[in-house]
Each structure stands twice: as C-alpha cells, then as structure tokens.
Amino acid sequence: MTLSISGTPTPAQAEPDLETVKARVDRLFHESEQAAERYNDAELELAELDDDLTSLEADQSRQGDALAGVRSDVRDSLIQQYQSGSLGPTGELLSSDSQGFLDELATMSTVAGLQDSLLAEYGDEVEAYDIRKDQTEERRADIEELQAKLAEEKKTADAKLAEAKELLSQLEAEQRAALLSRDAGRPIDASAIPASGRAAEAIKYALAQVGDAYVWGAMGPNAFDCSGLTMMAYAQAGVSLPHSSRAQYGSGAHVAKSDLQPGDLVFYYSPISHVGIYLGNGLIVHAANPGAGVKVSDLDEMPYAGAVRPG
C-alpha cells in the first residue's frame, strides 16, 4: 500500500513519496514532542504546587495552634475577671466560632477591661488563619486543574505518536527501513571532543546513550526524551537541571551561536520544545524522536532558538 500526502491510500501503481512521508512523520513526531514537553512543564508546576500546598498546610496547622493558644488566654482572662466579680452572669460567651467569639467579645461590657494587646493578637491570628485556609484551598483547586491539563497533554502526545507510527506501518518494510535509516545519525568518539570538567562528563554520558530509544517522559537508563537526556547527562557532572526543555533554557547563562562551546545546551523551535548538547564542529547529541532515538545530528537540523551554558 502506498500513501498520499494526506496519509490515505493511493493507487497501487503509484510509488510512495518518501520525502513527503518523512516530512509528515517528522511533523507528527514534533507535535508529539511539543505536547510531551508541555506535559513535563506541567509536571514541574505540579511539583511546585504540591510543595506550596504542603507548606501552606503546615502554616495553617501552626496558625491553628497559635489561634487556639490565644483563644485560651482570652478565656482565662475572662474567667479570672468573672471570678473577681468584674464579669456578670450574662457574660457567659465562649462561642466555638472564631468570628462569633470576637463579635461576642465586642458587645460585652467587660471588653474594656481586657488587655488590648491580647484582643489584637487574637484578631491577628484569626485573620492569618483565614488567609492560610483560603490560600490552601486555592492551591488544591490549582492542582486539580493542572492534573486535568496533564491528562489532556498526555492524550495529545500519545495520539500524535500513534498517528506517526500508523503512517510508518503502512509503508513496505524496505521503504520503512530506508526512511528510518536517514535518521541513524553518525558515530563520534567522546575523547575527540575538546571539552573538560562538567561539560566533558555530560558529553561522555550523552554519547554513551547513542542508539537508545526515545520515549517521552523517560530519563534513562535505556530510554530518554530530549530534556530527560540532557538532565541526566549533566546530573553525572553534579549539575541539576529540570526535566523540561523550556525550563532548562533558563538554567544558565545564555550564549550566542557564534560563541558555542562543547557541552552547551542548544534549544530548538518557537516556543522552545527541544534541547540537545553541543559537541563542536556543528554537531549535537540529542534524543531526537521515537523514530531515531538518541543520535548525533547537525546543529542546524532543526530551527535553532538559542543556547545556554549550564552550571
């Protein structure tokens, strides 16, 4: 079976246009990766929200303890005044509701006899507790919304990847092999690259993964997506990078294309959705796509967006 540009079967006598098929497969792979990198971005955001929520819940708990302590102090003060005869029987109050308790205090003739600082402290704790409570609920709502976004991005990435694989599966075996062989990359010796220190460690690791599979969301040991490979490569050198090409673009000093050095992170597309490691001599190593896996490519194989020097 052969294919037209739309991906539908064409008459049997027509030979498939492999360049057209390759372009369409590459586009689908890229669209899948864009969704996958948005998923990685959302995962980072979700982790930050989780940390915020944990911190807010801890603050809320501490605020609640402080509120209970101040309330106890106010009540003790009222009890002491009652026992001393300064509070009449109608002063029995002690509402379990925080605001109601303040309202009761405000209407009682004994309020003037309480220490102003104690009441002010109680009011401050009530306000702080309510703020923490509202912020906590907002974070929970944000997390629920982001979890829905994660599911949608995963669905998009999976659908694009499935479409590309279906397109490839319709080719004859020899045609498919010819198409994928163009993405095989080229061998390169890490020891021949003029790099040292952290850059050398990252390059050595990344080149050792050439031939491994591309799987979006993966970060080793036998499969990677683009930002997963660069993250793990620099982890070997003691440099922590986020699992997101967009976030990695903000992880170091930006360098001009003319000043690139081996080990620099190079970024592609607008908005940024792909990253690799520069090797020198116009070459990069990167987790390319599900059809090619980890490979060495030309620097300008994709639309260049910028570069960063990590660490």
Verify cis geometry, omega within 30 degrees of 0, for the bond prior to 271. yes
Given this model, what pLDDT does residue 230 score? Answer: 98
In terms of pLDDT, which residue wins out, 73 or 203? 203
Q: Hey, which residues are catalytic here?
A: 226, 274, 286
**CA-wise closest residue to 119 among 135, 137, 104, 140:** 104
The pTM is what? 0.63
All structural domains of the chain: 1-182 (1.10.287), 185-310 (3.90.1720.10)
Q: Cβ distance 136 to 60 under 8 Å?
A: yes
pLDDT tens digit string along 113-146? 555 566 666 667 677 777 777 877 887 788 788 7
Region 179-192: mean pLDDT is 63
Lowest mean pLDDT segment, chosen from 27-31, 72-76, 212-216 = 72-76
Q: Is pLDDT of 196 > 60?
A: yes
